[in-house]
Amino acid sequence: MEEIKLTGEQRREKLLVWLRESSPLTGSELARRASVSRQVIVQDMTLLKAKNHAILATSQGYIYLTENKEPRSERIIACKHDPSRTEEELLLLVDYGVSVDDVIIEHPVYGQLTALIRVSTRSEVYEFIERITATGASYLSELTDGIHLHTISAPDEERIEKACAALQKAGFLVED
């Protein structure tokens, strides 16, 4: 059976359907489904974003953003630790029911750099750490001697308070 080749526009429409149905999806998974290279997917995502589609590239893959109807508490916290404690920090937060949305650093040349993390469960933390390890990538906080910010969120403020108290006790929070 011969495979039917999709036009670029047809492929991008299919990508949107897949992302709306199930995300995150990695570039490699999308490339496999569309029978194209990963680089073609990267280009497609750039074109879709340029057309104002709410697509984010995260460490877990591409996500199509939908409006969240449930109210969530959110806070930005300042942390400091060496790379060897990253997993401990993230696990501590998710164990309190808190999602770690991103990491932010203040770079001396580029200014504020933000990278999406989007971890809410232990398995997502393990996947994130494995991806860093497998690729040999550096943590952004290595550019700032371990100092970084996280945007964290939870269904209620109480979970954030408890998580922050645990971070403080473990020596992760930067004192005012």
pLDDT tens, position by position, 49-66 = 888 888 888 777 888 877
DSSP string, 61-111: EEEE-----S--EEEEEEEE--GGGHHHHHHHHHHTT-EEEEEEEEETTTE
The pLDDT assigned to 2 comes to: 45
Q: Are residues 31 and 111 in the same domain?
A: no
In a domain, 175, yes or no: no
Residues 141, 81 within the same domain? yes
- On whether both 117 and 153 belong to a single domain, the answer is yes
Please give the DSSP secondary-structure letter assigned to residue 27. Answer: H
DSSP 16: H
- 54 and 104, same structural domain? no
Q: How many domains does the chain have?
A: 2
Q: Are residues 14 and 89 in the same domain?
A: no
Q: How confident is the model at residue 4 (pLDDT cuts 50, 70, 90)?
A: low
Same domain as 163, residue 77: yes
Q: Say whether pTM exceeds 0.75.
A: no
Tell me: the pLDDT tens digits for 130-151?
989 999 999 999 999 999 999 9
pLDDT value, residue 149 = 95
Higher pLDDT, residue 67 or 119: 119
% of the chain surpassing 70 pLDDT: 94
pLDDT > 60? residue 124: yes
State the maximum Cα–Cα separation within the chain, in Å, rounded to a whole number.
66
Asked whether residue 111 falls in the same domain as residue 147, the answer is yes
- Whether residue 67 has pLDDT greater than 70: no
1 domain residue, yes or no: no
> Residue 61 has which token pair?
């893959």
| Mean pLDDT of all residues belonging to the chain | 89
Same domain for 85 and 51, yes or no, is no
Nearest Cα neighbor of 65 from 74, 73, 57 is: 57
Range of the domain at 56: 8-64
pLDDT (tens digit per residue) in 83-112: 999 999 999 999 999 999 999 999 889 899
